[in-house]
């Protein structure tokens, strides 16, 4: 699975309260959540996110376990999130909702906002122009869930 | 030679595990609350099976938006309540019991268990010697349906707490000290195993706060090695006799080790808007404060209310001050011991166990440019309300002293 897109760069420790505040958690509707994703950083984020790749710093998605954070990012049109590291719960939520997540230490030094990059989800290879950076590809159980399209579809198959 | 994490996960997976292994485990206890519960049920409905594999292992407690502040919250609770009735869940706690993590440690969690909660502060249960992780609604739905999940065995880290904390210094200051030293990203992928050299000097309430804050350190889990404090806590709360508890093997291998001298820990505060932006109270003594919140799954326990009452006795608050005992049991004991009366006489607003202001939900949402000192766990932008509000995280003594002084203060400044 190779994904190409334009980079939206974010900082370190982007927490799930910032991704989607608690006041929106009474809904799981992807389109509603997408309207508010990362709005305290950039109220226009959702308008720029279609087809984009997020490249972020350390422990992306830290904090609350709210799955709406992953749902909102995906519904806004972000195709993959690459980060220096991920918070454990967010990483699982992303995979469970069919949003690929690649941990790649050093990536924020190599990639700038607006760069066009390609990401190989399984090998973790990230191409920026003619340079290649090696991240941690999605593997094992996480890859099976991602290939099924998310945990709901994975469970449907498994429980049949 | 195995760490406690490896022993628990070996037992739960039926295999001999090592750090880094991806394993499938049997989950001993699974839980959700109102605000994640409806999402868990929605996932189950999408999968097409409202099926609970082991109802006796599922705990549900309403805490986030209770009693409901609006119609949508009421509808969410109606949906979860009817699910609990339909499936005859034996461990359903409606409005009236308190915060889920506190209900879990008071009534259910045992040392050596694998505990998964649809809420990140699941880590709290690690104080009792359980391997406890928060997960999202989909993962938790899968566990409710199948009784199992997958996870990566974390790298073990040994933390030793030595000596005795000074007066008014609690588990919160210890957590903030760890965040000051290690920052919020150091423990990613790690299980912190905590050894207390003098168990009676670091009581259960302090341990629950440190374990709760384990998720703010981004640890995969934070486990206190069970000792006589663990045993007496469980036996006194539940009228049970605890049999032999699992401990790490002597000589078990840890990736690294750190000893914290408790008597060196100072009054600390996490300044906006990051849990690891830790400063001493002295550096912040000019910060004027609008509202103080004493409560949450981090610091809403009896010892927190005791400290607040001792500092506020006979004085009046200068800030708005909201106090929320974490559970019905905590509230009742605090009433019996006179803490609630003292706090009310000092001018605090005391209310029933809910997450409330911690998530900017209700009962004290912060307005634009307001400054809040909170004993809760997160000071992220917008966490407690307006993105323009500023939240400082502290322990109960600093929070109480701040409410009296009207600015960030140590207890010695108001006593």
Give the pLDDT score at A159: 80
Give the pLDDT score at A158: 86
Domain boundaries, chain B: 4-262, 269-413
Distance from CA of A28 to the nearest CA of B (A): 7
Contacts of B39 in chain A (CB under 8 A): 28, 67-68
Total Cβ atoms within 10 A of residue A70 = 31
Q: How confident is the model at residue A72 (pLDDT cuts 50, 70, 90)?
A: very high
Contact at CB, B22 and A96, closer than 8 angstroms = no
Give the pLDDT score at A160: 75
Q: Indicate the class that CATH gives domain A2-159.
A: alpha beta
Q: Does A21 touch chain B (CB under 8 A)?
A: yes
Nearest Cα neighbor of B329 from B237, B204, B210, B235 is: B237
Distance from CA of B345 to the nearest CA of A (A): 32
B386 near B281, Cβ under 8 Å?
no
Contacts of B232 (CB under 8 A, 6+ apart): none
DSSP E strand boundaries for B153-255: 155-162, 190-196, 221-224
What ipTM score was computed for the predicted complex, to two decimals?
A: 0.98
Q: Does A92 touch chain B (CB under 8 A)?
A: yes
From CA B283, how far away is CA B320, in angstroms rounded? 23
Torsion of the alpha carbons at B102, B106, B110 and B111, rounded to the nearest 10: 70
Contact at CB, A59 and B135, closer than 8 angstroms = no
Contacts of A18 in chain B (CB under 8 A): 380-382
The structure's pTM equals 0.98
Alpha helical stretches, state H, B87-130? 100-107
pLDDT in tens, A17-41: 999 999 999 999 999 999 999 999 9
Nearest Cα neighbor of B350 from B391, B301, B295 is: B295
Fold of B4-262: Aconitase; domain 3 (3.30.499)
From CA B216, how far away is CA B221, in angstroms rounded? 11
Q: Return the residue in A39, A43, A88, A160 with the most chain B beta carbons within 10 A, the one to mutate for interface testing.
A: A88
Q: Which helix (H) or strand (E) holds B8?
A: helix B4-13
Contact at CB, B138 and A97, closer than 8 angstroms = yes
pLDDT in tens, B126-184: 999 999 999 999 999 999 999 999 999 999 999 999 999 999 999 999 999 999 999 99
Question: What is chain A's mean pLDDT, rounded?
Answer: 97
- Residue B395 has phi, psi (to 5 degrees) of -85, 175
Contact at CB, A152 and B138, closer than 8 angstroms = yes
pLDDT in tens, A79-105: 999 999 999 999 999 999 999 999 999
- Residue A116 has phi, psi (to 5 degrees) of -95, 120
Domain boundaries, chain A: 2-159
Contact at CB, B359 and A22, closer than 8 angstroms = yes
**Topology agreement, domain B4-262 and domain B269-413:** yes
pLDDT in tens for each of the 415 residues of chain B? 999 999 999 999 999 999 999 999 999 999 999 999 999 999 999 999 899 999 999 999 999 999 999 999 999 999 999 999 999 999 999 999 999 999 999 999 999 999 999 999 999 999 999 999 999 999 999 999 999 999 999 999 999 999 999 999 999 999 999 999 999 999 999 999 999 999 999 999 999 999 999 999 999 999 999 999 999 999 999 989 998 999 999 999 999 999 999 999 999 999 999 999 999 999 999 999 999 999 999 999 999 999 999 999 999 999 999 999 999 999 999 999 999 999 999 999 999 999 999 999 999 999 999 999 999 999 999 999 999 999 999 999 999 999 999 999 999 999 9
Sign of CA dihedral A76, A79, A84, A86: positive
User: Which CATH architecture does the domain made up of B269-413 adopt?
Assistant: 2-Layer Sandwich (3.30)
Contact at CB, B387 and A40, closer than 8 angstroms = yes
Round the CA-based radius of gyration of chain B to a whole number and report it: 20
Indicate the SS3 state at residue A119: strand
Contact at CB, A89 and B274, closer than 8 angstroms = no
Q: Which residue of A has its CA nearest to B135?
A: A89
Q: Which residue of B has its CA nearest to A88?
A: B220
Minimal Cβ distance to B47: which of A23, A88, A152: A152
Contact at CB, A93 and B138, closer than 8 angstroms = yes
Q: Return the residue in B147, B380, B391 with the most chain A beta carbons within 10 A, the one to mutate for interface testing.
A: B380
Contact at CB, A40 and B381, closer than 8 angstroms = yes
């Amino acid at each position: 699975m190779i994904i190409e897109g334009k980079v939206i760069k974010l900082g370190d420790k982007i927490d799930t309260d910032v991704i989607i505040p608690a006041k929106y958690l009474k809904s799981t509707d992807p389109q509603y959540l997408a309207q508010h994703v990362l709005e305290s950083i950039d109220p226009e984020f959702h308008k720029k996110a279609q087809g984009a790749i997020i490249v972020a710093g350390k422990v992306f998605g830290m904090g609350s376990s709210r799955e709406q954070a992953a749902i909102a990012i995906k519904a806004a049109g972000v195709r993959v999130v690459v980060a220096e590291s991920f918070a454990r719960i967010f990483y699982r939520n992303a995979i469970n909702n069919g949003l690929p997540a690649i941990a790649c230490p050093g990536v924020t030094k190599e990639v700038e906002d607006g760069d066009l990059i390609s990401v190989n989800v399984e090998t973790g290879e990230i191409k920026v122009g003619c340079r290649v950076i090696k991240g941690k590809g999605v593997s094992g159980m996480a890859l099976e869930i991602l290939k099924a399209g998310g945990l709901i579809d994975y469970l449907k198959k498994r429980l049949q | 030679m195995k760490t406690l994490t490896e022993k628990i996960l070996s037992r739960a997976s039926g295999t001999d595990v090592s750090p880094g292994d991806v394993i499938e485990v049997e989950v001993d206890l699974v839980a959700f609350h109102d605000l994640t519960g409806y999402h868990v049920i929605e996932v189950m409905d999408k999968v097409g099976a409202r099926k609970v594999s082991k109802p006796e292992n599922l705990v549900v407690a309403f805490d986030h938006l209770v009693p409901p502040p609006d119609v949508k919250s009421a509808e969410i609770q109606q949906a979860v309540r009817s699910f609990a009735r339909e499936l005859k869940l034996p461990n359903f706690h409606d409005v009236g019991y308190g915060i889920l993590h506190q209900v879990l440690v008071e009534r259910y969690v045992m040392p050596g268990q694998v505990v998964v909660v649809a809420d990140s502060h699941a880590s709290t249960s690690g104080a009792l010697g359980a391997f406890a992780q928060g997960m999202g609604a989909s993962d938790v739905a899968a566990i409710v349906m199948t009784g199992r999940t997958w996870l990566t065995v974390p790298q073990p880290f040994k933390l030793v707490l030595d000596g005795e904390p000074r007066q008014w210094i609690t588990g919160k200051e210890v957590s903030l000290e760890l965040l000051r030293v290690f920052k919020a990203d150091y423990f990613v992928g790690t299980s912190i195993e905590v050894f207390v050299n003098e168990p009676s000097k670091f009581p259960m309430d302090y341990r629950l706060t440190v374990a709760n804050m384990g998720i703010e350190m981004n640890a995969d889990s934070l486990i206190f090695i069970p000792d006589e404090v663990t045993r007496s806590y469980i036996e006194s709360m539940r009228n049970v006799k605890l049999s032999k508890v699992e401990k790490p093997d002597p000589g078990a291998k840890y990736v690294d080790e750190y000893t914290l001298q408790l008597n060196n820990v100072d009054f600390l505060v996490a300044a906006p808007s990051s849990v690891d932006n830790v400063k001493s109270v002295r550096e912040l003594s000019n910060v004027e404060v609008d509202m103080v919140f004493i409560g949450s799954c981090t610091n809403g326990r009896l010892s927190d209310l005791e400290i607040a009452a001792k500092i506020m006795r006979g004085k009046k608050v200068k800030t708005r001050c909201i106090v929320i005992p974490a559970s019905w049991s905590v509230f009742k004991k605090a009433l019996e011991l006179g803490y609630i009366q003292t706090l009310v006489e000092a001018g605090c607003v005391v209310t029933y166990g809910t997450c409330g202001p911690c998530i900017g939900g209700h009962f004290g949402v912060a307005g634009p440019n307001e400054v809040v000192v909170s004993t809760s766990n997160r000071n992220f932008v917008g966490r407690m309300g307006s993105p323009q509000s500023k939240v400082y995280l502290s322990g109960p003594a600093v929070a109480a002293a701040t409410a009296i002084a009207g600015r960030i203060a140590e207890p010695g400044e108001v006593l």
